[in-house]
Chain A
Amino acid sequence: MYKIGVIGDPVSVLSFKAVGLDVFPCEDGAEAKKLIRRLAESEYAILYVTEDLADEAASEIERYSDSRLPAIILIPSKEGASGNGLMNVRKAVERAVGADILFGGEE
């Protein structure tokens, strides 16, 4: 059985706790990095990470981007979406096609 984890600042992740996900409140990037590594090595299949923390732990997230599990998904924090999550989709398109042909016109 796999689990779902949520990493983010204490206020943002509170709402995820309500629906029964495993919540890991975390304040700074170094801690987030450690958490991500620890959770990824155990039985967590999906990790939701808030965008601002993901920014600081980008190198750690990058490590798991090509592996099948876990899926590390960026979610906006309580401050609102920074556009980083959508940027990842855009980057994937760019990587696959060579140029961003889907979302380029929307800016």
Chain B
Amino acid sequence: MERMNVNPTRMMLTSLKRRLKTAVRGHKLLKDKRDELMKEFLDLARENGRLREEVERDLDGVYKNFTVASSIMSREVMQESLMFPKQGVDLTVGSKNIMSVDVPVFDFNTTANNEGDIFPYGFARTTGELDTAIQRMSDLFPKLLDLAAKEKETSLLAAELEKTRRRVNALEYVMIPRLQLTIRYIQMKLDENERGNQTRLMKVKDMMLEEAINEKKAKDEAAIERLIESQG
């Protein structure tokens, strides 16, 4: 792990310590977010898979019904019959917030005039198979919409989860160790400076003491000399 390229000063130390504190707190929060997202996501993905299998199976059935219907009727009649559908769909999109991920919620209204009358054709030229096919399609539709919402939610959550996971890892394995390392480096450097200063002071003190002693000695010698002179 590389330490950051910073000046080992006390000011830097304080600011790094503050950053470390933020990073640790952020890491904890993101980790919580990740766990919660994961819980949410796994349920959703499982549900999504189940729903998709169901829709695929049902849709296959609908296609089969249509194939049967079109084999009985001529292609032109069939296309003509379905040309102007009676049902319409009004879709409204709301939104829902899951762990700060904005996911769309689909809500739909069918705009059929009459619930029981969804067939856009007279019964004279079409077969009962087509009725069944359309009825089944109509029944399947809410599920199809549900699948759309779930699938979008799954993919959005997956993207968010990936991002969060990366952030957690970046904090845990890069950011925090690097900060810790740099803080330790600055602390050592400061301690080292402190010790250097201490020894320098001691040395200076020694030198001053020696000087004082020498001065004192010189004075004493001068006094002794003066004493000898006055007696002699």
Kindly list chain A residues whose C-beta atoms are within 8 Å of the C-beta of B86.
Answer: 20
Contact check: which of B88, B91, B161 meets A45 at CB < 8 Å?
B91
Q: How far is the CA of A92 from the CA of B156 in the complex (A)?
A: 9
Residues A14 and B92 in contact in the complex (CB < 8 Å), given A19-B138, A66-B155: no
CB pair B91–A17 under 8 Å, yes or no, is no
Quote the shortest CB–CB distance from B147 to chain A (angstroms).
Answer: 6
Contact check: which of A20, A45, A81 meets B56 at CB < 8 Å?
A81
Q: How far is the CA of A98 from the CA of B162 in the complex (A)?
A: 8
Size of interface on B: residues with Cβ below 8 Å to A: 60
Q: Which residue of A lies closest to B79 (CB)?
A: A14
B104 within 8 A of A: yes
B1 within 8 A of A: no
Size of interface on A: residues with Cβ below 8 Å to B: 42
CB pair A19–B151 under 8 Å, yes or no, is no
Residues A102 and B148 in contact in the complex (CB < 8 Å), given A20-B110, A45-B106, A68-B102: no
Contact check: which of B70, B137, B148 meets A46 at CB < 8 Å?
B148
Contact check: which of B56, B89, B157 meets A21 at CB < 8 Å?
B89
B149 within 8 A of A: yes
Quote the shortest CB–CB distance from B125 to chain A (angstroms).
Answer: 15
Kindly list chain A residues whose C-beta atoms are within 8 Å of the C-beta of B88.
Answer: 20
Contact check: which of A46, A71, A89 meets B45 at CB < 8 Å?
A89
- Residues 67-99 of A at the B interface (beta carbon under 8 Å): 68-69, 71, 73, 75-76, 78, 80-81, 85-86, 88-90, 92-93, 95-98
- Residues 1-21 of A at the B interface (beta carbon under 8 Å): 1-4, 11-12, 14-21
Could you mark each residue 85-122 of chain B with 1 if its beta carbon is under 8 Å from any beta carbon of chain A, else 0?
11111111101000000111010001100000010100
Contact check: which of B91, B103, B134 meets A4 at CB < 8 Å?
B91
CB pair A73–B161 under 8 Å, yes or no, is no
B185 within 8 A of A: no
Instruction: Please indicate which of the listed interface residues A21, A48, A86, A101 has the most CB atoms of chain B within 10 Å of its own CB.
Output: A21
Contact check: which of A15, A71, A86 meets B152 at CB < 8 Å?
A71
CB pair A69–B104 under 8 Å, yes or no, is yes
Kindly list chain A residues whose C-beta atoms are within 8 Å of the C-beta of B110.
Answer: 20
Q: Which residue of B lies closest to A1 (CB)?
A: B90
Instruction: Please indicate which of the listed interface residues B86, B111, B159 has the most CB atoms of chain A within 10 Å of its own CB.
Output: B159
Contact check: which of A46, A80, A96 meets B145 at CB < 8 Å?
A46
Instruction: Please indicate which of the listed interface residues B95, B111, B154 has the most CB atoms of chain A within 10 Å of its own CB.
Output: B154
- Residues 51-77 of A at the B interface (beta carbon under 8 Å): 65-66, 68-69, 71, 73, 75-76
Q: How far is the CA of A102 from the CA of B50 in the complex (A)?
A: 11
CB pair A73–B45 under 8 Å, yes or no, is no
Q: Please name the 10 residue pairs, one residue from A and one from B, whose CB atoms are nearest each other, closest first.
A: A71-B152, A20-B87, A96-B161, A92-B158, A96-B158, A20-B85, A20-B88, A2-B91, A81-B56, A18-B134
